[in-house]
Amino acid sequence: VPVLLFVAAPYIRRYVAGGRCKSTARMEGKVVIITGANTGIGKATARDLAQRGKVIIACRDIAKAEAAASEIRAETGNQQVIVKKLDLADTKSIREFAEKFLAEEKELHVLINNAGVMLCPYSKTVDGFEMHLGVNHLGHFLLTFLLLECLKQSAPSRIVNVSSLAHHGGRIRFHDLHGEKCYNRGLAYCHSKLANVLFTRELARRLQGKFQRQVGFTANALHPGSVSSELVRHSLVMTWLWKIFSFFLKSPCEGAQTTIYCAVAEELDSVTGQYFSDCRPAYVSPRGRDDETAKKLWSVSCELLGIQWD
């Protein structure tokens, strides 16, 4: 058995690694924002895209973000890797980030909503939203809203939402969105990842039409795979399981491939409203294809954030 495992190991690793983005597309003169790019998948995505163009790392922890940016600059030779403060658990911070970005930059070509929290003990954001819903969905919903006109004016442009296979276990519980009646942190994560898929679907539908067809303004979601990262840090059990089964987990670089693919692949220039995994279209749960729920979630999200997004 040990001999068989030794022989099979490279093939197992190749299978676990999944698809790779083969696009060599350059992004000179283009601007990319990646949220949560100071570690894990986000950092690996930033490293790749920094070899193609300008990257803005939007993070809550400035010290960690600066360390990651410095490392990426040294590795890629690209000095246009910039750190900006963004706390997705605080709508004031999101608005301040957007205001400063729009004052300093004329264009935005790719917005990658990558940051996320997972398995948090029950807590709320500054604005009173359940943490998973507030950071993973509402924070990115507001950020996208605030940057949408800039993305439109910079088209062709793309919005990439990092969701998860976990969306299959999610439900949008409109009667208890903030988990005040019943809370399970695993399910809360699943619910927020389903919200990512539904947001992408409804956003793409709203972007459809003459404008989108002419210039290629797209929004897609993805599952990065099971990745060895800090995302499970709130769960001691999951942290240990991740260590024990690390051989069967993707590295951050491998996990970033589908995000990179959605951001740069030429064949996706006019593809919108889709869900990808391993750099190819993937199955979406029936709840993730429910247009009525998507529309209602959009409306409720606008109401919670105090915005009008028609």
**Active-site entry in 11, 189, 275, 283:** 189
Q: Where are the alpha helices (DSSP H) in the chain?
A: 2-17, 40-50, 62-76, 91-104, 131-132, 140-153, 185-207, 210-215, 236-244, 252-255, 257-264, 291-305
Helical pair 140-153 and 185-207, crossing angle rounded to 10 deg:
20
Compute CA distances 127 → 91, 103, 135, whole Å: 7, 25, 11
Cα–Cα dist 250/263, whole Å: 20
Q: Do residues 97 and 86 touch, judged by C-beta distance below 8 A?
A: yes
- Helix, strand, coil percentages in the chain from 3-state DSSP, rounded to 5: 55, 15, 30
Q: 189 catalytic, yes or no?
A: yes
Q: Do residues 35 and 88 touch, judged by C-beta distance below 8 A?
A: yes
Tokens describing residue 91: 């709508």
Amino acid at 70: S
Active-site residue numbers?
Answer: 189
